[in-house]
Chain A
Amino acid sequence: MSFKIPNNKKYAESHEWVEQPDDGGPSRVGITDFAQDELGDIVFAELPSEGDALTQGEEMGVVESIKAVSDIYSPVTGVVAQINESVFDEPELINDVPYGDGWLLAIEVESGADNLLSPEEYKEQIQ
């Protein structure tokens, strides 16, 4: 089975993705296609609040599928700028469009973006 790994994103070893917009605004963050597939049917997401300070590699929330609870880790250091509220009502978005409407939050990045994985490096990791 091959998993989508879009080229316009960077990746954390813990299976989160980060997309830095060209305009330098907050970066969107979500979990990867591989991660959503491993978890199976996602039924619940618990996310930090707007304004929370996050540290790269530290726990920032939880996604739960029918069969498992999985921590999600902040892929960068920064401040939460926005939460995607629609995943609270429709957590299946995370399964269906993990890189689209199933994004989780946007982070005003302060540091850490440099040590994320490239799509090629992430691909190697999950193989």
Chain B
Amino acid sequence: MSLRKPPLYKIHSDADPEFTDFGGWIMPIEFDGIRNEHSAVRNSVGIFDVSHMGEIKVSGMDATELMNRLTTNDVRELGPGGAQYSCILDDEGIIIDDTVVYRYPESDGYLFVPNAGHDEEMANHWSECAHNMGLSVSIENVTQDTGLFAVQGPEAMDTVEDAAANKLSDLSRFEAKQSEIAGINCLIARTGYTGEDGVEIFCPASGSESVWSEFQSVQPCGLGARDILRMEAGLLLSSQDFDPETEARTPIEAKLQFFVDLSKPDFVGQESLKTQQADGTEQKLIGLVLNERGIPRNGYEIHSEGGKIGHVTSGTLSPTLSEPIGIGYVDTKFSETGTEVEVLIRDRPVDATVVGHRFLDSLSKE
């Protein structure tokens, strides 16, 4: 299978970053050092090309009904321009992907953003379910025709406001509006995946170069920095922190209950989640911090009392907190904050403590 290229592939190539294969796309992983890029986003502003993310438009008479059946959050709560994080489940309640659902500010219907490489699968899933449920909707996978950039950091709003034709200071978190940038009509949403303030800008693929060029003074950042930023913020990565094949988890195990509305009408996976909510889960997601040198990484075992109690799904040395942090799952009785555990690093047990997985909050208060 050949790799998909973002609309800006040529522009990126001129900047000569390191590229990586991610979700079937060839994307920049590092432009000017992961630390530099990370620090730009935490301290000022950085821009990411995230055009590998999927974009699927859902419109028609029954669009709200279908969105509400296939995602865990209550779509009916969205006003025009509203956005919400949500999970997409199978019948057993297992997360098959996570997404942000946007209600268009100026037109009918929704846009949702599945993860890289999941767009076709989700578009098919939506079509199939619409057919089976007898709903009247139009589903359009516009991934290939859409550029998506994230401008993130404490100075992001000012930076984008300078570039955009419309005022943005009145935009709330998880709200989107239309505005031109460089004469291109964009959907600008105050969302992101870094734990910082900022926006994500959707534009037509054909206008990507013009929009990107408006931010020439902003540090370009690759997926390497993005991965560390999201880990520090405790944001989960689809296909790694959950995956229907290799890391089958429900939103309850993954501590995403906040984004599940169990009381709304029938949605896929609801019955399983209700049972799990009542009975509890065998394992739960945790954050952990190592008390010795080392870095917890994907796949490392977590031990306690001489036995395996779980494993790490993501980890890094946090540049913001100067601590080795990890996200993983352990048997529920070990998931309390403060529990002492061990991470097995190259067969050597390293002491670690369970902490809240939103590390920017849980560790900076100490």
Q: Which residues of A contact B (CB under 8 A)?
A: 40-41, 43-44, 46, 62, 64, 66-67, 69, 88
Contacts and interface: CB of A to CB of B under 8 A. Distances in A.
A44 B228 contact: no
Q: Which of under 10, 10 to 19, 20 to 34, or 35 or more describes the interface residues of B?
A: 10 to 19
Contact of B33 (A40, A43, A44): A40
B365 interface: no
Contacts of A69: 295, 297
Contacts of B294: 44, 46
A40 B34 contact: yes
B65 to A, nearest CB: 43
A22 to B, nearest CB: 35
A41 B224 CA distance: 11
A54 to B, nearest CB: 17
A64 B300 CA distance: 15
Interface string B49-82: 0000000000000000000000000000000000
A75 to B, nearest CB: 21
Contacts of B333: none
Interface string B11-44: 0000000000000000001100111000000000
A66 B316 contact: yes
Contacts of B317: 43-44, 64, 66
Contacts of A43: 295, 317
Nearest to A59: B346
- SS class, residues of chain A in contact with chain B: strand
Nearest to B316: A66
Interface in B201-260: 224, 228
A66 B297 contact: no
A104 to B, nearest CB: 15
A44 B34 CA distance: 15
A64 B324 CA distance: 12
Nearest to A68: B297
A62 B295 CA distance: 12
23 contacts: A40-B30, A40-B33, A40-B34, A41-B33, A41-B34, A41-B35, A43-B295, A43-B317, A44-B295, A46-B293, A62-B346, A64-B295, A64-B317, A66-B34, A66-B224, A66-B316, A66-B317, A66-B319, A67-B29, A67-B30, A67-B34, A67-B224, A69-B297
